[in-house]
Amino acid sequence: MLLDTYGRVATDLRVSLTDRCNLRCTYCMPEEGLQWLAKPELLTDDEIVRLIRIATTDLGVTEVRFTGGEPLLRPGLTGIVARCAELEPRPRMSLTTNGIGLERTATALREAGLDRVNVSLDTLDPETFQRMTRRKRHDDVLRGLAAAREAGLTPVKVNAVLMPGLNDQEAPELLEWALEEGYELRFIEQMPLDAQHGWQRDGMITAGDILESLRTRFTLTPERQEERGSAPAERWLVDGGPQRVGVIASVTRPFCRACDRTRLTADGQVRTCLFATEESDLRGALRGGASDAEIAALWRKAMWGKKAGAGIDDPSFVQPQRPMSAIGG
């Protein structure tokens, strides 16, 4: 198992398949994009599947989330999913995506073995979408969401980040829309993971702000703590349920004590936390001829050194140099 010194066990693996993205969200990267990883630096399909196999068979991982960048830009995605679906024990697999391209891939991904998707959508207004992402792709995302639902990639979860002066008043509207469409909406506090390092805590929309806005239109009943488990989202029943809304308060109400995640970057580095400033190299071991047992031992060692928390509230906190697109969400 992947145990740390605080008694936490990592059973949820986040796998970044690429650092590339076809949007330029203002809270993630500059308009001109970033210097992408060169192809030789990226893990191959075989290397990704091998690491997931080691994680599931030797290290106790039961959940695999494919992320990016934008994972739908990975040419071998469907094949990777299909191969991982054949593993014993089989991990439960999900995908975090911006939804562009999901309309044409949802059915194939479901048939390959993908269980569900998380789709990022911050606004219902196409013009606001363009200002936030610097792309005119709002309709593509909506069609991708519908395709995922029709393909059975459920529950379809929608992730939304609220930004001051852009979409900060949209929380009730987004929730009403999600309830009508049958999606599970989760608001995520903006985190200090932008490539520009422009994040300011005193300018962010907090979980408290979001809940206050939602309560102007809905009655929210807190979900019981035992139902949350290690999930990052605090959830509320909406108007008595059964539908829910979630808030991931990574900054103001961090959930580090219950964290069960381990992360693998697109270039084969283990990260113990989104906000970690150190990484452990598995790609070098893979390409150097290491055995499965040796790789598993390296992975265990990396996770044993996981810190107690992200440290955002600590005056000494330093934002990671690698942006979200390189780390994997």
Binding residues for GTP: 14, 65, 96, 157, 261-263
- The binding site for S-adenosyl-L-methionine comprises 27, 69, 120, 191
Q: Count other C-beta atoms under 10 Å from residue 288's C-beta.
A: 9
CA 93 from centre of chain? 13
What pairs with residue 280 in β-bridges? 270
Give the phi and the psi of residue 93 in degrees, each rounded to 5. Answer: -120, 135
**Rounded-to-5 percentages of helix, strand, coil across the chain:** 35, 15, 50
- The binding site comprises 14, 21, 25, 27-28, 65, 69, 96, 120, 157, 191, 256, 259, 261-263, 273
Residue 313 structure tokens: 């509230």
| Site of tokens 């300011």 | 200
- How far, in Å, CA of 15 to CA of 48, rounded? 8
DSSP conformation letters of 150-210:
HHT--S-EEEE---TTTTTT-HHHHHHHHHHHT-EEEEE---S--TT----GGGSPPHHHH
- The binding site for [4Fe-4S] cluster comprises 21, 25, 28, 256, 259, 273
Residue 92 structure tokens: 């439960």
- How far, in Å, CA of 222 to CA of 233, rounded? 12
**75 CB-contact burial (10 Å; exposed 0-12 / middle 13-18 / buried 19+):** exposed
Q: Count other C-beta atoms under 10 Å from residue 120's C-beta.
A: 21
